[in-house]
Amino acid sequence: MLTLNDVTWLDVFLVCVGVYLAKQVFTKKNPAPYPPGPAGWPLIDNILDMPRIKPCLTFAQWGEKHGDVMHVQVLGQHIIVLNSVKTAMEMLDKKSAVYSDRPVFPMGGELVGFKDALPFLSYGDRFRRYRKNLHRAIGNRAAVDEYKQIEESETRRFLKRVLAKPDQLQEHVRHTAGAIILRISYGYQVKENNDPFIDLANRAMDGISQATTPGAFMVDILPLLAYVPAWFPGAGFRRMAREWREILEEMVSAPYKLVKDQMAAGIAPMSFTSNLLEGRDVSAEEDHIVKWSAFSLYGGGADTTVSAIYSLFLAMTTFPDLQKKAQAEIDAVVGPDRLPSFADRDSLPYTEALVKEVLRWNVVSPTGFPHRVTEDDVHDGYYIPKGSMVLSNIWFMLNDQRTYAKPSQFNPERFLANDGKEPEIDPRTICFGFGRRICPGLHLADASIWISAAMSLAVFDISKIVENGVEITPEFEPSLGSTSHPKPFKCSIKPRSATALGLIQQDAN
């Protein structure tokens, strides 16, 4: 990985001088001041201010001094940081026509190749065609209802895996999330163990998280470094990009080819991909769009689901009294003789609130995915120049005491109407992003998280482990990356009763 230590300060200085001189020649007078922010330095702007680790925390600290809309500049690139739900909705939702583009990502987008996936796609015709495909399949709860049987049957298999090997919880969560999305996307039924597509997908998603972490690669700050040969000293990032690109290309192409081969043989199961291809002679452009739409469906739902479900088990380990409340509700509504289903969802308000609090507690995408401004704008008296990158500090929005009472506490009841108090803001209106770039897989992810929570709590007691006579409380320490996952932790997972054991051992449909 090429870091600041691998680039001489003379290199940086010369680039900064060039940028500074260009600014002096070509900069026009602004119609309004930039939003406030760290002052920066002559020539180098805010390059030394930009955080490389957990930027959401630094942005929150800046917000205490500078407010909800902040501005920094790095080598001529304007960066706008939004620190409140109100400003995000005013700019990214209400002005979505000019705030919906994506910046160029030299590492993750260009070198690794994720630029063709929906989250990275520039706003335009191809973007709209991807979204149209995805909206038909998972764009609302009614569409997602078509996949309830898949969700429920794969979650039953998840319970069996956890029962057999509870110490491999994280692996089971990933396996199940992948199994659901692969069945929906490609009609592919995963193998119980060592499935090649599950392994491939996990490596691809890990690559995208690492490659898109803000500040992790110097090439994202100095794009010219993309032309450095892979053999050059300090160019390890080029070799990493090549490795991740190979994984990505196989993940995008292999399951897609499988569907086309099955369709040619007349044996293809119904799926998102087969529905788009059925009875059509697709052009090369349409073939590209269908292939990458299917991959984007996987990417839009799997990683969010994995992070949230693993976080649920961590929360239940840490807060056993809240687990008992949810179990009491499920016992009263569902009873001991069957597993919960989606038909029970409206009758389980505490379980619903618990899922919401998990999404607020561990923010899956702490700084969201950057937007890019396509036209000059003046917002609330501040100048937002064309080409600005806009970051939403979603972590802070979900931990803002102006929005959530005692945000550091894990408290599902904040989302229930109690003692005349209105429920607090549903985190699902925040954590999946804003405007026309909102996550297209949000309804599918929400359904997967809920059914996993309801079924798991119905049959399992989740508790702290005891080592050498000492009860171990796991630490909540999210991983680094553009997607946040709790670090691996240990917990005890046991059937609640002999009846619960029988429900787990029932065959999945």
Beta bridge partners of residue 462, listed in sequence order:
493
Secondary structure class of 493 (helix, strand, coil): strand
* Helix/strand/coil (H/E/C) assignment for every residue in 33-68: CCCCCCCCECCCECCCCCCCCCHHHHHHHHHHHHCC
420, burial (CB in 10 Å: exposed 0-12, middle 13-18, buried 19+): exposed
Which residues, 6 or more positions from 444, have their beta carbon under 8 angstroms from its beta carbon?
A: 138, 144, 147, 181, 184, 300, 301
Q: For 382, how many CA atoms within 13 A lie in the half-sphere containing its CB?
A: 18
Those residues whose C-beta lies under 8 Å from the C-beta of residue 410, and which sit 6 or more positions away, are 315, 318, 319, 322, 357, 361
The Cα–Cα gap between 234 and 106 comes to 17
Our CA angle for 496, 498, 502, nearest 5°, is 100
Q: How far apart are CA 505 and CA 473, in angstroms?
A: 30
β-strand pairing of 470-472 with 465-467: antiparallel
The tokens describing 239, both together, are 């070799």
Q: Which among 241, 240, 218 has a CA at the least distance from the CA of 109?
A: 241
C-alpha closest to that of 241 among 255, 227, 257: 227
Q: Does 56 count as an annotated binding residue?
A: no
**Residue 379: C-alpha distances to residues 54, 74, 109, 189, 375 (Å):** 27, 21, 29, 50, 12
* Count of C-beta atoms within a 10 Å radius of residue 213: 20
How far is Cα of residue 155 from the mean position of the Cα atoms in its chain? 21
For 80, which DSSP code? E
Residue 425, phi then psi, degrees to nearest 5 = -60, 130
Which helix (H) or strand (E) is 377 found in, with range? strand 377-379
Numbered residues of the known binding site: 439
Numbered residues of the known binding site for heme: 439
